[in-house]
Amino acid sequence: MPDTTVPPVAVKRSKLAIVAAVVALLMVFLILLSGFREPVGALCKAAFVLVGAIGVLQRQVWAAYSLALLQLFQAMLGLLLLKDGGPVVPLIGACVGSLLFCLLFLLAARALERSSGARGNAVPWVVVACLFTVPFVFLRAYVMPTGSMENSLLIGDDLLVRVFPRPAVGRDDLVVFHYPIDRTNTFVKRVIGVPGDRIRMVAKVVYRNGSKVNEPYVIHQFPEQDSMRDDVPGPAGRTEPTYLDAALQEAGDDMLLHHVVNGEVVVPAGKYFVLGDNRDNSLDSRYWGFVGEADLIGKPVLIYDSVETTDTQFKGNTPLFSVPHVRWNRLFKVL
């Protein structure tokens, strides 16, 4: 008798899905490369994209949809950062790139559906994609680039900053803001004076509304006295040091000439007086005056990653290649 067995039908692989998987694998490499100094966050995100890429190769429809969702959310976050005053050209480029990748993964998912790919359970994919993106509607990630807030914040600390809803700012709070002299730069300092407060600083000691401020977080690197740094507002008629650039001098002089009453700096409405915890090594309100309400971004709430930089790890003898040193004791430290 003739053999009537029907031969198995070969599964047709979608070329578009293969391209999408290759693109996702390249993303994994780029995430790890660009996040080398933030290994914890980079590894988590890279792991998700890697699992998604493998899922696409295994013809799982929702693996492709999840990667599309992730890219869509990232484009939306880019628009939020643009609204917050971030660099225009890089953010627009990142948004356009994310939308193009979103389209690629979306088309790959549709191609997998047409080729009878396994649809799978959407919930885990959607939940994880949301975890990597949705919280950043309310939070922003910032890195601590200088030692002006040591030892509260160290160089290489990665911070989550609450930006929405806009938190109320009070005395002694940490706050992130646009640097008033150059709004493309972002600073983090501690609020010493809120509107209406009277601030005076004598020989490194801060007085607020006539009372000495308890500052257990402050460190002093230099024991010698510097009247320009350690006394605010300082001698009558004092103006800003000549070594500061013109914009800083103008802002500092405005505070010293128009907001000093009876030897105290009076914080005007809608303004804040801020200082760095590393008091002898901080560019703050002593030099450029007040932070305006409109320049406030938010309050740090968590250190989610912390890596010693090559400067701190190797003390200037930076090797060509180095493994970042994670400060495990600072991970997920609530501020």
Catalytic residue among 66, 98, 189, 306: 189
pLDDT at 33: 84
| 3-state secondary structure (DSSP) of residue 269 | coil
- 188 contacts 278 by C-beta, under 8 angstroms: no
Read out DSSP for 73-102? Answer: HHHHHHHHHHHTT--HHHHHHHHHHHHHHH
Q: Which fold has domain 140-334?
A: Umud Fragment, subunit A (2.10.109)
- Listed in sequence order, the residues at least 6 apart from 82 whose beta carbon sits closer than 8 Å to its beta carbon are 88, 91, 92, 95
For residues 190 and 277, the answer to whether their CB atoms sit within 8 Å is: yes
CATH 2.10.109.10 residue ranges of the chain are: 140-334
Long-range contacts made by residues 219-223, C-beta under 8 angstroms, separation at least 24?
219/150, 219/151, 219/277, 219/278, 219/279, 220/279, 220/280, 221/278, 221/280, 221/281, 222/280
Is 15 one of the catalytic residues?
A: no
Identify the bridge partners of residue 178 per DSSP, sorted by sequence position: 186
Helix and strand totals (H; E) in the chain: 9, 14
Enter the tokens of residue 208. Answer: 């607020």
Tell me the three state secondary structure of residue 109: helix
**Average pLDDT score, the chain:** 86
Name the helix (H) or strand (E) containing 19. Answer: helix 15-34
The alpha carbon of 181 is separated from its chain's Cα centroid by a whole number of angstroms, namely 20
Catalytic residue among 66, 98, 148, 282: 148
Rounded to whole angstroms, the Cα distance separating 54 from 74 reads 21
Q: What is the tens place of the pLDDT at every residue in 212-231? A: 999 999 999 988 888 888 99
pLDDT digit string, tens, across residues 302-332: 998 898 865 544 344 444 445 568 898 999 8
With CA atoms as reference, report the closest residue to 256 among 246, 243, 266, 271: 266
Least confident of 2-6, 23-27, 303-307: 2-6
Does pTM surpass 0.95?
no
Q: Answer for the pair 112, 59: CB distance below 8 angstroms, yes or no.
A: yes
In single-letter form, the type of residue at position 188 comes to: V
Q: What is the pLDDT of residues 131-169, one digit of tens each?
A: 888 888 888 888 898 999 999 999 999 999 999 888 889
Tell me how long the chain is: 335
Per-residue pLDDT tens digits for 92-138: 998 999 999 999 999 999 999 988 888 888 898 888 888 888 888 88
Instruction: Quickly count: other Cβ atoms within 10 Å of residue 282's Cβ.
Output: 22
Q: Would you say 62 and 119 are in contact if contact means Cβ atoms under 8 Å apart?
A: yes
In the residue annotation, 189 being an active-site residue is answered as yes
